[in-house]
Amino acid sequence: MTSRRPLLAALLIALTAMAIWPSGAWSAEPKPKPYRIYMALWRGWEEAAQGFKDYFTNQNIPVELIIRDAGQDKSKLKDFVAEAKRLEVDLVFTWGTTVSEEMLGRLDTVAADKHITEIPAVFAIVSQPLGSMVKDFASSGRNITGTTYLVPTETQANLIQSYRPFKRLGVVFNPLERNAQVAIGEFSEVGAKAGFEVISRSVDLVDGKPNPASIPAKVAELKKAKVDFLYIPPDTFLNVNRDILTGAALEQGIPTFAAGENPVLTSKAMFGGVYRYYTVGQLTAYKAEQILVHKIKPAEIPIDAPKRLSIIINMPVVRQLGLYPPMKLLGLAEVIDPTEGKGK
Amino acid sequence: MTLDHTRPLFIRLLLLAFIVLVPPVGLLAHGALGEFARGLVPEMDKKAETVGRDLASSIERAIGYGIPLDKLQGMDEFFAPVLAANREIRYLAVTDRDNRILFINGAMPELLTPYFSVTDFEGGGSRKSLIGDFVNLAQPLMSKGVVVGHVQVGLDQDYVQSRLMEIAVDIGVMTLCSLLVSVEILLFIVTFNVIGPIRAVSTVMDRVRRGDFGYTCGVISDDEVGRFVHGFNGAIRHVDGLFRRLEAYMDEIKTAHFDKTVVGRVMDIEARVRFLFRFSRTGQPEVINEHQATDIRLPLFLFVFAEEMSRSFMPLFIRDLYTPSTGLDQEMAIALPIAVFMFFIAAVSPSAAMISARKGSRRVFLIGLLPATVGFFMSGLADNVFDLTLWRSLTAIGYALVTMACQSYIAQAAQRESRAQGLGVYVGAVLTASICGTGIGGVLAERVGYRATFVLAAALSVVAGLLIYRLMDAAQPKAEPLSPRKREFLALLRNWRFFALVTFAAIPSKIALTGFFFFLVPLTLLQTPGYDLGDIARIMMMYPISVVLLSPLAARLADKMGWKAGLVAVGGLIGGFGLLLPVLSGDFNVLGVSIALLGVSHGLSASPQLAIIPDICWTECRNMGQTNVLAFLRLAERVGSVIGPFLAAAFIPIYGISGAVIALGAVVLGMSVVFALLSFAYGSGPHIEAELAE
């Protein structure tokens, strides 16, 4: 409903314009001043950024996007903060946990000189915003709002159970990243109630950096521990090395479930239950619209996830494992099957 | 509860209505059902084909992804919702190219394997074949242009039959209701327009035969009967006029005749005439109105009908209104309006009885209709539980006033006959109204919704009021005012036999009625899959129907065998046992039987409960009057009516709805057992003599 109003306004302006300048005067049509949005990205233009941009196009909201990519370099983010302030943009969009925490500040570290505080901001693809970025999902308590993109742990566990009942869930994780450990903790809690066990192995550190080469050995260890499923947590290191991880799992014959879409879409994870980045981007843009067009304070806009869960099944992997999905899940799922030439 | 004198007439009218109504309805229904059956079969085939095609395309998609047909996963969960949503489909199966059953849901594979192994499903498109009691539809599964197996959809051949049966039951129930309603109306027309006037005429005629010409009939209808009565009255007035003329002539002779002997003869004759005949002193004959118990039957029927319309869905309606913010548990919230309704009836009834004795039944009936009608109407507009409770209390006040007015009217009108017969009229009207109101109310609620049904109830109660207003004359039979003191009532409770009867027979039977029947039954039945509001109402009709069928029998047994305490005890045990039946049989579908048994229980015990009073309260009846003792029993048992819903509501959080039925059953059965044991002692120990001596 709310989204229709700007559309009508635009239509009205267009009609009025046509009435005043009946012919050949289209160049004189006054364009409403576009909203200026500073988009700070972590690893280039991807689906969430596209969804964010497309929303404004589809809703006919004029925006001027100032796009900056940190290229996974944390040091650039200080300059981004300064630039956004200098340009006096209307809104800042931050992508990912690192960008959002560095530019908007954590609850405990936020400072007006180092972070963006005056300009309203929306964040997306932040794994664990609660407690670090926001006080409460109902209200950030700050001049920011945003979206979450992780499916609740219990939903994920149920999803795996609905594929095949399991007793042991294996996880390989990077000890330097917090996200995976939070996920492991939550899964253990759910498992205690639902009756499954979580078995985790951290990758080896070499010179204080996680070593991708150690991943296959960890997966083999999990195989020995007789895990039924391998869970791929939302973890940047694992995301980058997803081919090694999922390849090792497939070699060991362990089915994999991914909390993010990349391991399923572009690698060899068997299936995943995710909110698509594109949808998350659109939802984030909707919240930006609330702030820019409807002048609602960011603190009054709840932080939530898209309503629709996407179940993605990687059919070549399924066939290789011979572990076929139940009919009901298959009916709901988006099937990735490049060999058959049908993506859906 | 001896049968009222209108019973033979009632039965004759019922027969008449039956002959007029049932054959055409039966004929029409037969034709319609045939048409329906012819239309249903192809519809079912079409549906089965659609279902088969849908399933086949999902399975083909899975096969298309390279999943082998025999490795399909989660087929039970895949088939189950389809089976649940389509009651006519009995099984779903997938067979491979050799017709071996790979997956099946809803039937035993052993049952079908012999058929499938010899059937050739090859050939394009879906194929229909008969397998035992099933109609089997095979839908080919294609993969890369080759048939790899079939989806088999099994239709129940009996389904059409059972659907037709359901519809036939529907028609039967509606016919029964229309039959009863038309008989009530016929009975009213006949008694009001024919029997009443004829009785008045016969009363007057009786007096005329004894030489009394001082009365005429007070009937002023404009039909044949009215004209006859008019003519009859004219004849009496003519005789009266003749007498006046004779009197005047004799007066003239007495005062003016010269011959004293003639005067003496005339005075002799006058004395003789005055001795043999009686004429009104004023020259204005007194009007006789024959008040009959049945006069009030139709208005009472309509009013109770209106109230009973909400019987089958009241708890469901309250549940829809319920919001957690009220600070009440849902169960208590549902119990509240029902219990408060009962409370107000109990609280208002005694004073309502006194008011109608003083002010006249007609006026009290009309006064009572006002809150009742407003209550019905506003209940339909209620938007929360407290709202509804308020309007239901208003209805309860009206209900108490109206029913008490009717009882006192009937009691006075039936004075010349026996009171028991009058009571029969009352109970008869209430029970037939209960049968029709419950049945029709449920169907209405299903069709037009709860709220509109309440509005219709208000309209019916207005019609009842109009009938009373237009047809009953203002002159009312006078009643002797009765007002026993409260302390005497308390003394009644010291009679242990009476106390046992109230506490362990009358109260549990009311607890079962309001807690189980009014409260838990609609809630439990709604949980049963496949039951709609109409079904609930039809099942609930079992109660008044079994009461109607059994009451006369029980009354006769109680009269003839004198086995009153025993009947009360047996009735109570049957009711308690009925409530426990679901747990004994392990199946909640027998709730209909429980309801019928409750009806049996109340049918058996209600009239002996009253009939036993003169036996066990001999002294009290003599001191206070039997009517008052009975009234006190009625009042005391209402304690059970009020606590019933609350008790049921308290059990729900502990045992669940089904468990609450059992728990309530245990309470009722327990109390009934106590009464049964005590009833053995009724005949022994210090009895009437000892109590007399006190």
Report pLDDT digits (tens) over B341-397.
988 988 888 888 888 877 888 888 899 999 999 999 999 998 888 889 999 999 999
Cβ distance B66 to A326 less than 8 Å, yes or no, reads no
| Average confidence (pLDDT) over B213-225 | 78
CB A143 within 8 A of CB A298: yes
Angle made by CA atoms B205, B209, B215, in degrees to the nearest 5? 50
* Stronger pLDDT, A127 or A173, i.e. the higher one: A173
Chain B positions in Cβ-Cβ contact with residue A340 (cut-off 8 Å): 64-66
Can you give the C-alpha Rg of chain B in angstroms?
34
Which residue in A315, A321, A324 has the most chain B C-beta atoms within 10 A of its own C-beta, making it the best mutation to test that interface?
A324
Angle made by CA atoms A335, A124, A257, in degrees to the nearest 5? 35
Q: Using a CB–CB cutoff of 8 Å, tell me whether B73 touches chain A.
A: yes
pLDDT at residue B477 in the model: 52
Give yes or no for residue A21 having a pLDDT over 50: no
Range from B2-16, B206-220, B237-251 that averages highest in pLDDT? B237-251
- Closest CA in chain B for residue A336: B65
* Stronger pLDDT, B212 or B586, i.e. the higher one: B212
Give yes or no for residue B256 having a pLDDT over 60: yes
* Stronger pLDDT, B424 or A233, i.e. the higher one: A233
DSSP 8-state symbol, A204: P
* Cα(B344)–Cα(B400) distance, integer angstroms: 8
What CATH code is assigned to A33-149+277-300? Answer: 3.40.50.2300
pLDDT at residue B1 in the model: 35
DSSP 8-state symbol, A93: E
**Residues listed for chain B:** 694
- pLDDT band, residue A52 (cuts 50/70/90): very high
- Closest CA in chain A for residue B77: A328
pLDDT at residue B7 in the model: 66
Give yes or no for residue B688 having a pLDDT over 50: no
- pLDDT band, residue A72 (cuts 50/70/90): confident
| Domain locations in chain A as residue ranges | 33-149+277-300, 153-274+310-336
- pLDDT band, residue A115 (cuts 50/70/90): very high
- pLDDT band, residue B404 (cuts 50/70/90): confident
Q: Using a CB–CB cutoff of 8 Å, tell me whether A311 touches chain B.
A: no
Question: CB within 8 A of B523, min separation 6: which ones?
Answer: B315, B316, B319, B334, B657
pLDDT at residue A28 in the model: 44
- pLDDT band, residue A196 (cuts 50/70/90): very high
* Cα(B163)–Cα(B169) distance, integer angstroms: 10
| Average confidence (pLDDT) over A13-29 | 46
For the segment B622-658, what is each residue's pLDDT rounded down to a tens digit?
A: 777 777 787 788 888 888 888 888 888 888 888 888 8
- pLDDT band, residue B588 (cuts 50/70/90): low
* Cα(A194)–Cα(B84) distance, integer angstroms: 28
Extract the runs of DSSP E, i.e. beta strands, from B334-417: none
Q: Using a CB–CB cutoff of 8 Å, tell me whether B98 touches chain A.
A: no
- pLDDT band, residue A274 (cuts 50/70/90): confident
* Stronger pLDDT, A318 or B679, i.e. the higher one: A318
Q: Using a CB–CB cutoff of 8 Å, tell me whether B262 touches chain A.
A: no
- What percent of chain B stands above pLDDT 90? 10
Q: Using a CB–CB cutoff of 8 Å, tell me whether B65 touches chain A.
A: yes
Query: Mean pLDDT, chain B, as a whole number?
Result: 82
pLDDT at residue A10 in the model: 55
Same CATH topology for A33-149+277-300 and A153-274+310-336: the answer is: yes
**Of residues A319, A324, A337, nearest to B73 (C-beta):** A324
- What percent of chain A stands above pLDDT 90? 54
CB B393 within 8 A of CB B344: yes
Give yes or no for residue A37 having a pLDDT over 60: yes
Which among B564, B573, B568 has a CA at the least distance from the CA of B612? Answer: B564
Taking CA atoms, B214 is separated from B199, B236, B270, B300, B309, in Å, by 17, 8, 17, 34, 48
* Stronger pLDDT, A236 or B93, i.e. the higher one: B93
CB B408 within 8 A of CB B353: yes
Cβ distance A324 to B67 less than 8 Å, yes or no, reads yes
CB B402 within 8 A of CB B365: yes
- pLDDT band, residue A20 (cuts 50/70/90): very low
pLDDT at residue B480 in the model: 53
Taking CA atoms, B631 is separated from B351, B361, B509, B592, B604, in Å, by 11, 17, 17, 32, 20
Cβ distance B74 to A335 less than 8 Å, yes or no, reads no
Q: Using a CB–CB cutoff of 8 Å, tell me whether A330 touches chain B.
A: yes
* Cα(B598)–Cα(B664) distance, integer angstroms: 13
> Residue A164 phi/psi, 5° resolution?
-155, 135
Measured in whole angstroms, the distance separating CA B360 from the mean position of its chain's CA atoms is 27
pLDDT at residue B35 in the model: 85
* Cα(A305)–Cα(B132) distance, integer angstroms: 53
Tokens of A7: 């559309």
Min Cα–Cα distance to chain A from B144, Å: 12
Which residue in A313, A330, A336 has the most chain B C-beta atoms within 10 A of its own C-beta, making it the best mutation to test that interface?
A330
Q: Using a CB–CB cutoff of 8 Å, tell me whether A335 touches chain B.
A: yes
* Cα(B637)–Cα(B502) distance, integer angstroms: 6
| Average confidence (pLDDT) over A45-72 | 92
pLDDT at residue A278 in the model: 92
pLDDT at residue B690 in the model: 39
> How many alpha carbons fall within 13 Å on the CB side of residue A220?
6
**Of residues A326, A329, A340, nearest to B64 (C-beta):** A340
Cβ distance A324 to B58 less than 8 Å, yes or no, reads no
- pLDDT band, residue A84 (cuts 50/70/90): very high
Give yes or no for residue A119 having a pLDDT over 80: yes
For the segment B33-69, what is each residue's pLDDT rounded down to a tens digit?
A: 888 888 888 888 888 888 889 999 999 999 988 899 9
Q: Using a CB–CB cutoff of 8 Å, tell me whether B75 touches chain A.
A: yes
Give yes or no for residue B557 having a pLDDT over 80: no
| Average confidence (pLDDT) over A286-307 | 92
Which residue in A160, A312, A327, A328 has the most chain B C-beta atoms within 10 A of its own C-beta, making it the best mutation to test that interface?
A327
Architecture per CATH, domain A153-274+310-336, reads as: 3-Layer(aba) Sandwich (3.40)
Chain A positions in Cβ-Cβ contact with residue B72 (cut-off 8 Å): 324, 327
**Residues listed for chain A:** 344
pLDDT at residue A19 in the model: 43
> How many alpha carbons fall within 13 Å on the CB side of residue A90?
17
- pLDDT band, residue B408 (cuts 50/70/90): confident
